[in-house]
Structure 1
């Protein structure tokens, strides 16, 4: 479950129930680069991931340009603005793993930056992670 949540967080695939303002995100093909660092008693190497995703005007208007539901997680706080979004979430895995995350994203039309801080209680002990992410529009879908 931990890897699923981390990967999902990295790709920013979390559900939103409502959008207060339309995010300043241009529709098109986006490329995202994410770097995860971990702090724990068990050494885990830094991980980097790059992916591409088509973001449509409909995705942006619905508020899920970067987000979709993760059944094991509950959004505990969210604020969406035209220039970014902040959210917090709590996730519970079937193996007893628990994770909380606080994220802050900034939107600049054709690019985005953000940071996600997470804390997990795992069978291997407590763990902290930080994800630094960047995204840019690279063309049409």
Structure 2
């Protein structure tokens, strides 16, 4: 069960990788302020120039490996990226299906809304997550 929750959270964060190249995301220290219902938490991630240069596909594939068996797709329409990520964890008897949007406001800010449904041994649980991505400075040396 704990691993399935980890996979669900990782699947929610997978689409973050799809924004490392288009359109002009600035490298640096990024903060993700996440809200799920009454719960909120913050994560920080250093986005390097190499991560931006390699583009979204290589980052997404790397995070897919970290999260488990996941398939992802998405497309841009103006400054909005719409995506879908489906993950399976046969050893846990479960799946996670995620859809969402990322609105690109500037090279330093993006807003994300994600809806996810987790199924474990036939029982379904849905949640909505909102994430405010902001570049907050340079990466620590």
**Shared fold (TM-score, shorter chain, > 0.5):** yes
For residues 124 and 35 of structure 1, do their structure 2 counterparts lie closer, same or farther at Cα, with a shift above 3 Å needed? farther
Question: SS of 1:86's equivalent?
Answer: strand
Higher helix share: 2
Match of residue 32 from structure 1: 32
- Match in the other structure for 2:108: 110
How large is the RMSD of aligned CA atoms in angstroms? 2.8
Q: TM-score, normalised by structure 2?
A: 0.75
Indicate conservation of the 8 Å contact 2:8/2:118, yes or no.
Answer: no
Q: How many residues align?
A: 129
On the 8 A contact 1:73/1:92 being kept in 2, the answer is yes
The structural deviation recorded for 1:137 is 0.8
2:128 equivalent to 1:130: yes
The alpha-carbon deviation at position 79 of structure 1 amounts to: 1.5
TM-score normalised by L of structure 1 = 0.75
- Measured after TM superposition, the shift of residue 110 of structure 1 is 0.9
Q: What corresponds to 2:8 in structure 1?
A: 6
Structure 2: how far apart are the matches of 1:15 and 1:72? Answer: 17
| Distance in 2 (alpha carbons) for counterparts of 1:111 and 1:22 | 13
Measure, in 2, the Cα distance between the counterparts of 1:129 and 1:66.
25
CA distance in 1, matches of 2:120, 2:50: 37
Matches within 5 A, 1:1-141: 1-10=3-12, 12-13=13-14, 22-37=22-37, 46-64=38-56, 67=60, 68-69=63-64, 70-75=67-72, 77-80=73-76, 83-93=79-89, 94-107=91-104, 108-123=106-121, 125-141=123-139
Structure-2 separation of matches of 1:106 and 1:73: 23
**Does the 8 Å CA contact 1:31/1:136 hold for their aligned counterparts?**
yes
Deviation, structure 1 residue 81: 6.5
Q: Is the 8 A contact 1:22 1:81 kept in 2?
A: no
Partners of 2:32 and 2:131 within 8 A in 1:
yes
- Which blocks of at least 5 consecutive residues in structure 2 are unaligned? none
